[in-house]
Amino acid sequence: MADLVRVENLVKHFPIGGGLLGGPAGVVKAVDGISFTVRKGETLGLVGESGSGKSTTGRLLLRLIEPTSGKALFGDSELFGLGRSEMGGLRRKMQIVFQDPYGSLNPRMSVSNILREGLEPRRLSRLEQEAEISRLLDTVGLRSAHRNRYPHEFSGGQRQRIGIARALAVQPEFLIADEPVSALDVSIQAQVLNLLLDLQQTLGLTMLFIAHDLAVVRHMSDRIAVMYLGKIVELAPSERIYADPRHPYTRTLLAAIPRPDPDAAPARPPAESGSAEAGGCVFRARCSFAQAVCSQPPPLREIAPGQHSACHFAESLPDYAAGDQ
């Protein structure tokens, strides 16, 4: 499969205020040199806890924020070198769906006007626009009769469907979904996840699916990148992440998830974090396998076909039995 998106050594540091004379007192390394590709037609999952840099990564790709350094290719275009107008053109091929559809939909615009905005670049006739709006609403499972309603008249799940319809209006090739279901109830979450799976199949969308819930990410993704403090610590096919994780942090994350199964062992809390020393492996302070060599930063390297781990001991970690924590 060809790569649609290729990210190389992407870095985003945010300055922290409070230094002398209002200058920066330091930096937060939100994204600290990550590389990955998204293949055409696949879903790459990006999972991590707060502060892992997963959402920042999504925003960088859309250039909603500017990177500190690094490269990102979309097809043949170098994203970060593009001028305003070129980026505008490319943005039609890339869309994002956010966690809170209410915050991202204009409350003063009816659903049909929200969608019409997305249709503008396609220069359709008035009649074609109306037909397209009906088709989009149907695609995401909303009634065309509701097109003149306003966002507040819909439930959370329906608003997320509107957000998805708006993203689809521009006929994107690449969809970034940033925590698209974390504000939704379980029964509604399942409806929206099914819709996204369905759309990907019928439209051949390429997706970057960002979420903190590993079960949800695994459900949606072909491959998963696990992030921790701005780094990708493991990147592997979804099945492998669960069956044979090869980074201690991935194992910590899996062990901490409570299973909806009365016979499962209780979730295991991670070790308390020790003092964080600068440099080296980002997980070192909490890692039970850490040794002296971990003060050297471990590169993300392929340790089995398609499976990458940023751990010096990836191959020698004890065998892992899925589910048996």
Contacting positions for other proteins (CB under 8 A): 43, 49-50, 141-143, 146, 155-158, 161, 185-191, 193-195, 197-198, 212-216, 218-222, 238-239, 242, 252-262, 264, 266-270, 272, 322-323
If you ran DSSP here, which 8-state letter would residue 292 be given?
G
- Of 265 and 293, the one with the shorter C-beta distance to other proteins is 265
Q: How far is the CB of 301 from other proteins (least distance, A)?
A: 24
- Of 264 and 293, the one with the shorter C-beta distance to other proteins is 264
Residues in the chain: 325
- Decide: helix, strand or coil at residue 277: coil
Q: Can you spell out the DSSP letters for 29-69?
A: EEEEEEEEEEETT-EEEEE--TTSSHHHHHHHHTTSS--SE
Q: How far is the CB of 110 from other proteins (least distance, A)?
A: 15
Which amino acid makes up residue 48?
A: G
Q: How far is the CB of 205 from other proteins (least distance, A)?
A: 13
Kindly give the interhelix angle for 186-203 and 156-169, rounded to the nearest 10 degrees. 20
- Of 36 and 242, the one with the shorter C-beta distance to other proteins is 242
What is the rounded distance in angstroms from the CA atom of residue 245 to the CA atom of residue 241? 5
- Of 12 and 161, the one with the shorter C-beta distance to other proteins is 161
Q: How far is the CB of 259 from other proteins (least distance, A)?
A: 6
Q: How far is the CB of 219 from other proteins (least distance, A)?
A: 4
Please state, in angstroms and as integers, the Cα–Cα distance from residue 106 to each residue in 88, 103, 163, 266, following that order: 20, 8, 11, 43
- Of 173 and 222, the one with the shorter C-beta distance to other proteins is 222
- Of 72 and 183, the one with the shorter C-beta distance to other proteins is 183
Token pair in block for residue 76 = 């043949």
Q: How far is the CB of 227 from other proteins (least distance, A)?
A: 13
What is the rounded distance in angstroms from the CA atom of residue 51 to the CA atom of residue 54? 8
